[in-house]
Amino acid sequence: MRSFIFGAVLAAGLWPCAVSAQWYKASSDHFVVYAQDSERDLRTFAERLERFHSAMALVLHRKADVPSPSNRVTIFVVSSEREVRRLYQGDSKYVNGFYVPRAGNSLAIVPTITSTAKEPDESMLTLMHEYAHHFLLSAQGYAIPRWVSEGSAEFFASTTFLADGGLQLGRAAQHRGGELYFAAEVTAEQLLDPELYAERRRKGYDAFYGKSWLLYHYLTFSEARAGQLATYLTLLTKGVGERAAAEQAFGDFKVLDKELDRYLQQRRILSFRLGAEQLSVGSPVMITPLSEGEAESLPLRIQSQRGVDQDQAKEVVSEARALAMRFPEDAWVLSELAEAENDVHERDAAIAAADRAIARDPANVNAYLQKGYALFAKAHEASGKDMAAAYAAARKPFVALNRIENDHPLPLVYYYRSYADQGVKPPELAVDGLVRASELAPFDLGLQMTVGTTLLALGETQAARVHLQPVAYNPHGGSMSRSAQALVDKISSDPGWKGEDMAQVLARAQASEEGDGPSEAGDGGDGEATGGQGASGGKKAASD
């Protein structure tokens, strides 16, 4: 899938017709959608997303709990693909959407709502592909190889919404047809042996995504190979290597390749047709209009949450201050002001704005977060006997937020960090809370890495491995993935290891990475703009 990163305009004037028509917010069990559209179309869009979620759960026999309100995926619908590309930072030639998996604040963006079209357009394909990743990470609880991750995402993204409320899932991935026939070939052996693929991978575009879809589709519907995919995944969870697991489950790779070639030549292939009665929208979709202040500050909110460099931060805070003068009673506007003040490191101003937002809306989640972030920044600068008191103060907004939204992962993360960041051994309750946060947000790989290294430092090697494996298997690679892989390899080669020389293992992985040259595109975070905190307090990364 094409790489894409989220950005935003710096002022409402750069978002065409930003406030000339009504903006609405649609809230459902798993999604929050902001769009400038009709209530009817927005409701249809949100209901389709919920049916898509329900279909994945049904087909995969997975049941994910309804997430905490702040742990839903927030989708911003902007005016056009051109607008999406303007928001992108970097090479934007093929940008048509984005997804940022982040504890307590996962984001997505699409350029249009296609509530009446039967066939999904490219932006909807992108959104469904990325939500498939989100769902699988949330519901499975174990790591999967890159080809399974991308093949399954392509499988589920190839969905048609039916007029009666049902859908047809697992259709032919027509958007991968040209790739499969004309791009550089990727064999089944290369898919199933990542080291072989890395050795033989061409610099140009190849058929990895298309072939991954083809293999996943074939294993899903082939009667002759029924149960083999499940066997393969089970072997992987037992610690069998990817190639060895594939050989045991699928047999001769050349035979599998011939079968895939024949499968691709078929005139028709199977798919799942699910009736409306089999799918659930969950709780009724709630549609609410945004206030004038909310609508005008929305572009600033998006920019702040994406991340800003120093110059952007100055522009955003200037706009945010002006809006707060116009809308001094709007808690949404004030919480955005707090975030913008944080981005220019004006911590006292951020705290003051957050306090004003909380006074007007005691349930404003972003205000508690921004106050907590500002207090943590001040605590980092404290020293001596003042440090403990500063971190105790920094905990308070997160404790208050935890009372409002018990399953919000960030209060649990920052409760742990309030000890770890000052060099104090966190109490068992704080470690348990960190682990719980990772269970609430398994899609946040930065958080998984934090939990994995924390447990490893405590000598809980096998528990650490569970959290490190999804990071190591991250389909987009990157420095964090390589570090996690180094730790997993050490655990596999030395079952008695308790993490004693973890720092040295990570240092060797980093040295090896530097020797390999530039990291892959898709390595989230490196060189990215600074901004609001992710779960581990790091930079925000996008996924493709």
Higher pLDDT among residues 193 and 536, named by residue: 193
At 528 the pLDDT is 27
Query: With left for phi above 0 and alpha for psi between -120 and 50, is residue 166 left, alpha or beta?
Result: beta
pLDDT digits (tens, 9 = 90+) for 171-188: 998 888 888 888 889 999
Amino acid at 473: Y
End-to-end Cα distance, the chain: 6
> What is the four-CA torsion angle of 447, 362, 107, 448, rounded to 10 degrees?
10
Question: Tens digits of per-residue pLDDT, 5-64?
Answer: 333 333 333 444 444 578 999 999 999 999 988 899 999 999 999 999 999 999 998 877
The rounded distance, in Å, linking the Cα atoms of 296 and 24 is: 13
374 to each of 104, 172, 334, 342, how far by Cα in Å? 18, 50, 15, 6
3-state secondary structure of 33: strand
Facing residues of 107 across strands?
A: 74, 100
Confidence of residue 100 (pLDDT cuts 50, 70, 90): confident
How large is the average pLDDT for residues 236-255? 92
Exposure string for 289-320, b = 16+ CB within 10 A, e = fewer: ebeebbbbbbbbbbbbbbbbeeebbeebbebb
Nearest to 321 by CA among 16, 313, 310, 370: 313
**Across the chain, which distance is largest between two alpha carbons, in Å?**
74
499 has a pLDDT exceeding 50: yes
How buried is residue 128: exposed, middle or buried, by Cβ count under 10 Å (0-12/13-18/19+)?
A: buried
pLDDT, residue 3, reads: 33
Which of 143-147, 304-308, 466-470 has the lowest average pLDDT? 304-308
> Is 90 exceeded by the pLDDT of residue 217?
yes
Q: What percent of the chain has pLDDT over 70?
A: 86
Strand order in the sheet with 160-161: 160-161, 167-169, 272-274
Q: Is the pLDDT of residue 157 over 90?
A: yes
Contact criterion met (CB below 8 Å) for 314 and 275: no
The pLDDT assigned to 203 comes to: 61
Structure tokens at 206: 């190849």
Alpha carbon distances (Å) from 147 to 213, 415, 473, 515? 8, 37, 10, 26
Is the pLDDT confidence value at 531 over 60? Answer: no
| Measured distance CA(466)–CA(287) in Å, rounded | 39
322-351: per-residue pLDDT in tens? 999 999 999 999 999 999 999 999 999 999
Q: Which pLDDT belongs to residue 182?
A: 83
Domain boundaries 1-139, corresponding CATH code: 3.40.30
Angstrom distances, CA of residue 160 to CA of 48, 116, 165, 246, 348: 10, 11, 11, 31, 51
User: Sign (positive/negative) of CA torsion 499, 500, 506, 512?
Assistant: negative
Burial of residue 478 (CB within 10 Å: 0-12, 13-18, 19+) is buried
Phi and psi at 357, nearest 5°, equal: -65, -45
Strands (E), 203-359: 272-274, 286-289
- Comparing CA positions, the residue from 190, 9, 4, 24 lying closest to residue 109 is 4
Q: Where are the domains of the chain?
A: 1-139, 172-270, 309-515
In whole angstroms, give the CA distance from residue 112 to residue 255.
Answer: 43
pLDDT at 535 over 70: no
Q: Is the pLDDT of residue 71 over 90?
A: yes
Which homologous superfamily does the CATH classification assign to the domain defined by 309-515?
A: Tetratricopeptide repeat domain (1.25.40.10)
What secondary structure letter does DSSP report for 246?
H
CA-angle at 483, arms to 482 and 487, nearest 5°: 115
- In three state form, how does the secondary structure of 293-304 look? HHHHHHHHHHHH
Q: What is the pLDDT of residue 114?
A: 64
